[in-house]
Structures are given as C-alpha cells and as structure tokens.
C-alpha cells in the first residue's frame, strides 16, 4: 500500500509551502487508495508550541486534508530513538565524537583552503565504544556522529527530478544526536518513516541535501528505502523568494480573510502541477482523480495572488446564496431594516474574498455618509446640474412603483445616462464604486434613500 506523510514542525503557523506539501502527499496517496499520515516533528523543545500544533490540525481539517492515523509526535518517541542510537553505537555505524568547536572550526578552515568540502573527517570514528564511554565518564563533552562510508556514490531516482547522485566525501561524518536523549532531524525522520511504513516522501527541494544522509542511515539500519520526490520552490511574480505581501502569509490568515477552502486547495494544487488541459476549476475528488506526480514541474512555481483572487471569486459566485450569506455574516454589520441576504446578492459578483464585503457595504449600515462633494460630479457637470439631476431622482423615487425601470427611463431623458446615474449612486453610497442605485434602494428602502439624496443636495448647497 502506498503511504505518504506530512511532517510539520509546530514552531509557527502553517504556510503555503507546507500546505502544498501536505496536499500533494494527500492527493498522491488517495489516488492510489493509499494512506496519508500526519507526524508532528516537535523535538525542538524550545520553539515547538502546542498552539501551533493545534492550528496545523485545524487548518488541515478545514481544508479537507484528513490524515488516516492517530497523529504521531516525535516528543513521545524518545525511547524508540534511543534504542536505535544504542544499536548503531554498538554496531559501529555511529560513534561518539569529542571534537571541540575550535577543532571543528580549524578543520573546516583547512578543508576550504584545500578547496574541499568542509565536512567532518571523523577524527574519533575508530576510537571504539568502550574507550568513548570512558571519556564520557571522565566528563568530556561529545555528540553522536554517523560513520559515513568513505568515497561511496549515493544515488536515488527522484520522482520529479530524475537521478540525483552525490559522493560521501561531500557529506562526511554528520551529527545525528547531541546525546542519547536528544536525536536530530535526519536521524528521527528516518526512524519514523520506517516505523510508519512510509513508501513515498514528497517534500520541498530544500531537503535534497538531507536525502543522501537519510538513505545512508536507512541502509546502515537495514531499512527499506522509500521513494523521494522534491518539489520546487514557490516564487513570487518576480521569480524571487515569496514576500509576506505575496504569499508567505499563514494559511489561517487566508482563511480568516475569506478565501474558501475549496478555492485554496484548487489554487495550491496548480503551484507546480499542471493537468495538461484547459481545465482550471477542480473539486477535491477531481484533483485526486487527475493528480499525477509526473506532471509536477521541476522549475519554480509562481504564486500569483491575482489568480487566487480570481479563483476564489469563481467559487463564491457558484455558491448557494443561503450558504454564502452564512459565510458572509461574520464580516457584515447588523442593522434593523437591512436584509443581509439582499446585501450579499447585490455584492457577490464583486467579491474576491469574503472579507471584501465589509468595506464594500459599510455605507449601507451608516446613518450619515461622509464623502468629498467632488465625488458627486459626473465629468464637467456644474453644481446646479448635479442638484437638478438629484432633485429629478428624488421626485421619481418618492412616487415610483418600479424603481429600477423608472430610473432607467429617467436616465435616458438626461444628457447622458452617467449624468443621471452617477450623482444618484454616489449620493446613496458615498463611494466611487458600489452597487447600482436600484439595488441600493432595494436594500436600504425608499425612506433612507430619500434622506441620503436630500443630504447630498444640502451638501452641495453648503459647499460653496
């Protein structure tokens, strides 16, 4: 059975890059009727926080990325790691290293002068466990290093990038634990992936240097080596590292702003993956069906917030109006006489994200509008022409039976439709862009509309 995993560290909020890793692992597993596992890598006791773990869980659930296991925590697996470390020390595939910082710095400097990889050469690799334990008893400080095979080529077939090869001379004897109770990342994840029966590891390209080390550790322990696939970086529109403004915002912030989970998943899936068709709107089931690791690009994926806005708008407009109203309520004010369903119906086609409705519709809930009188002016209309237009609208609205039709008919009589509709719409909304006059009147009612038009006329008279 294919089994993938997502293994975040709870040292901060879930971001777009992490979400993409989770989604691709989920899609790959589910397409093959496999399993998707969640593991919390919280061995960094200082930076790992329970609140970040909870937020990761909540974000994944909201997005429908559901894991099939009882989420594992590395902080609860200390004895397991310890037993494997003891096994490696006993078998001689790992050893205690007593090099001081000064010694390591000097070694690094000398290697760089010789234009060699600045990796540890293994001063204590042949000391022997018995002698090492004696030095520890005497109080000498140490770490545990992996005894890297000398001059050995390590290669693996990356499912996205093809064959990748590196020689162990460029790796050296790397540290796998500070001590028996404090294992490090490369060691713990190899143990966890083996014990969780992980068959495929899909993760970011920043992990490529770790992969040969993890293969070496797996081989030393006699483990089956999983398949690897490394995703390209997510870049901004300028093809540089994402700025906070562009996309490094936390996933929870996107959700709070009113980006819909379905739209987020759809958008994230296209960051590096392309189905090879013109189709752009996908449900989760359709993503599972069409997803292919062979169609993931090797080049950087471009995060385009405009594309996310467009896609989210598409999902908003397809949503049942009653469901959309419920989702918009947290962003809307409440006022007697204002039907929020009418508000949402008037603005759903203008929304990029749900929170937009707050700013777009705030005027509907205000008793007095404040705006620059110049906003009432259509092109080169004089104040008198604006007042005349508003007075005509006022008379019409006071007696109209069908406001929308009668406003259009009146606009046709004006020098231009804009010269009638623009001042009226601004008088009703106080905004440069808003719903049309008929829609606004339908929401706020004739009485409030008449008051606002009179306020605009008075405003023109006062602003001499």
Q: Tell me: the pLDDT tens digits for 33-54? A: 999 999 999 988 889 999 999 9
The CA distance from 104 to 126, in Å, is 17
Mean pLDDT of 121-138: 96
Query: For the whole model, what pTM was predicted?
Result: 0.92
Return the closest-CA partner of residue 317 out of 351, 294, 342, 288. Answer: 351
Is residue 247 pLDDT above 70, yes or no?
no
User: In whole angstroms, what separates CA 163 from the centre of its chain?
Assistant: 30
The CA distance from 355 to 362, in Å, is 12
Q: pLDDT category, 464, cuts 50, 70, 90? A: very low
Half-sphere exposure of 375 (CA within 13 A, CB side): 17
DSSP state of 200: E
Instruction: Tell me the sheet residues that pair with 156.
Output: 164
Residues with Cβ < 8 Å from 369, sequence gap 6 or more?
363, 429, 430, 452, 455
pLDDT digits (tens, 9 = 90+) for 2-41: 999 999 999 999 999 999 999 999 999 999 999 999 999 9
Residue 6 φ/ψ, nearest 5 degrees: -120, 130
pLDDT digits (tens, 9 = 90+) for 400-410: 989 999 999 99
Per DSSP bridges, beta strands 301-302 and 234-235 are: parallel
pLDDT at residue 246, rounded to an integer: 60
High-pLDDT (> 90) share of the chain, %: 92
Q: Considering the chain, what is the average pLDDT of its residues?
A: 95
In the structure encoding, which two tokens stand for residue 39, read together? 């593991």
Return the closest-CA partner of residue 133 out of 81, 84, 86. Answer: 86
pLDDT at residue 460, rounded to an integer: 86
Residues with Cβ < 8 Å from 294, sequence gap 6 or more?
159
């Amino acid at each position: 059975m294919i089994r993938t995993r997502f293994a975040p560290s709870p040292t901060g909020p879930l971001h777009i890059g992490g979400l993409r890793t989770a989604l691709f692992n989920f899609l790959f597993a589910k397409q093959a009727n496999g399993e998707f596992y969640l593991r919390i890598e919280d061995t960094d006791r200082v930076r790992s926080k329970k609140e970040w773990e909870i937020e990761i869980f909540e974000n994944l659930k909201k997005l429908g990325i559901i894991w099939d296991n009882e989420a594992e925590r590395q902080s609860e697996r200390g004895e397991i790691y310890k037993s494997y470390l003891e096994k490696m020390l006993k078998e001689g595939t790992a050893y205690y290293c007593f090099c001081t910082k000064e010694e390591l710095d000097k070694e690094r400097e000398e290697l760089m002068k010789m234009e060699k990889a600045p990796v540890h050469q293994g001063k204590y690799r042949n000391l022997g466990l018995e002698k090492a334990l004696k030095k520890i008893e005497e109080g000498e400080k140490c770490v545990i290093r992996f005894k890297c095979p000398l001059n050995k080529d390590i290669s693996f077939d990356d499912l996205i990038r093809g064959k990748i090869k590196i020689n162990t001379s460029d790796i050296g004897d790397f540290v796998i634990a500070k001590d028996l109770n404090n294992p490090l990342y490369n060691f713990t994840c190899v143990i966890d992936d083996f014990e969780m029966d992980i068959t495929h590891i899909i993760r970011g390209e920043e992990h490529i240097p770790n992969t040969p080390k993890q293969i070496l550790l797996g081989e030393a322990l006699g483990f089956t080596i999983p398949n690897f696939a490394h995703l390209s970086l997510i870049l901004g529109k300028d093809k540089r590292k994402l700025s906070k403004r562009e996309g490094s915002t936390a996933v929870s912030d996107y959700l709070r702003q009113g980006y819909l989970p379905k739209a987020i998943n759809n958008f994230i899936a296209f960051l590096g993956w392309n189905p090879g068709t013109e189709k752009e709107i996908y449900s989760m089931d359709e993503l599972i069906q069409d997803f292919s690791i062979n169609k993931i690009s090797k080049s950087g994926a471009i995060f385009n917030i405009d594309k996310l806005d467009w896609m989210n708008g598409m999902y908003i407009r397809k949503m049942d109006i009653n469901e959309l109203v419920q989702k918009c309520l947290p962003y809307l004010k409440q006022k007697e006489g204002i039907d929020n369903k009418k508000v949402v119906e008037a603005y759903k086609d203008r929304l990029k994200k749900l929170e937009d409705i707050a700013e777009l519709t705030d005027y509907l809930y205000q008793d007095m509008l404040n705006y620059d009188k110049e906003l009432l002016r259509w092109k080169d209309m004089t104040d008198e022409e604006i007042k005349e237009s508003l007075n005509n609208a006022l008379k019409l609205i006071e007696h109209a039976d069908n406001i929308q039709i009668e406003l259009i008919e009146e606009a046709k009589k004006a020098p231009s439709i804009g010269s009638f509709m623009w001042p009226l719409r601004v008088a009703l909304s106080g905004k440069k862009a808003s719903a049309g006059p008929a829609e606004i009147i339908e929401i706020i009612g004739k009485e409030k509309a008449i008051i606002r038009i009179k306020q605009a006329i008075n405003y023109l008279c006062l602003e001499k």
